[in-house]
Every structure is written in structure tokens, then in C-alpha cells.
Amino acid sequence: MYQSHEIIFLAERLRDGAYEFITKELGRMGVQGAPSHGAILVALLRQKQLSLTQLSKIIGKKKSSTTELVDKLIRLGYVEKTTEISDQRIKLIQLTPKSLALKGKFAELTQTLMEKTYSGVTLAEQQEVVRILGKILKNF
């Protein structure tokens, strides 16, 4: 049985396992990029267009880190950057037709990841884990 002080170790192993799984699945699907790009793509699939500031808040990363991830996605052809018409200082990020064409594959990957993650875990247990981890995360 795991001890309560092992939470960081377990969270790290979970993240590493999920990243390895996602990387393998992306490769199998012929999609370039890293798992860290997925949060951006999912956010843009939901919101269509976001500023860098909004995107940073949604994915929980610093604006400079988000900018680096977005720039990589631009080079890969998955997102594009435009300028807000009413305020030229605001840069907006949106998906390209290339990434929109992968919407079904991303949904499939998300479903497979969730099935793998929660295999053998009841809905009540899933909700409890998310609740507790959310509380712990607020400490940082």
C-alpha cells in the first residue's frame, strides 16, 4: 500500500506514463508534436480562438512557456497567430485546417487515455481522486 508522503512520486509516475502513452499514440496516428501541445489544441478545439494570456491561464503555464509551445505548433502547421482587430497588441491563436482535420483522432486519443487511466476505478473513486488532487494542487 502506498504511503501519503508518496503523492509527489506517484503523480510524477502518472504524468510520465501518460506522456509516454500519448507520445506513442500520436506517433501511431502520424501526428507530430509533444503531449504538452495537446492542452493547447484541446483548449482551441473548445474555444476556437484565444489570446496568449487566456491560453496560458487555461493550460496553467507561464506566458513565456505558452509562447514557446505555440511557436512550435505554428512551425508544425497546427495553429496560427493573428492580431486582434480592436487592439493590435493582442495576439490571437487559432487552429489551422491541418489540426481541425485531426479532431476525430484527438477525441479518440482522449477517450483511450481516459479508459486506460481509469480502468478498474469506479466513478465515485474518480471523482474523489480529482477532488483531492485539486485541493492539493491549490497548495502550490
Contact 26, 73 (CB under 8 A): no
Contact 45, 51 (CB under 8 A): no
pTM exceeding the 0.75 threshold for the entire prediction: no
103 found inside a domain:
no
Tell me how far apart the alpha carbons of residues 80 and 54 are, in angstroms, rounded to a whole number.
16
55 found inside a domain:
yes
For residue 104, name the pLDDT band (cuts at 50, 70, 90): confident
73 found inside a domain:
yes
Contact 38, 78 (CB under 8 A): no
Query: Total domain count for the chain?
Result: 1
H/E run at residue 116: helix 103-117
Tell me how far apart the alpha carbons of residues 5 and 61 are, in angstroms, rounded to a whole number.
26
Residue-wise pLDDT for 63-92, tens only, equals 899 999 999 999 999 999 988 888 888 889
24 found inside a domain:
no
- CATH number at 86 reads 1.10.10.10
137 found inside a domain:
no
39 found inside a domain:
yes
122 found inside a domain:
no
Contact 43, 58 (CB under 8 A): yes
138 found inside a domain:
no
Domain that residue 40 falls in: 34-98
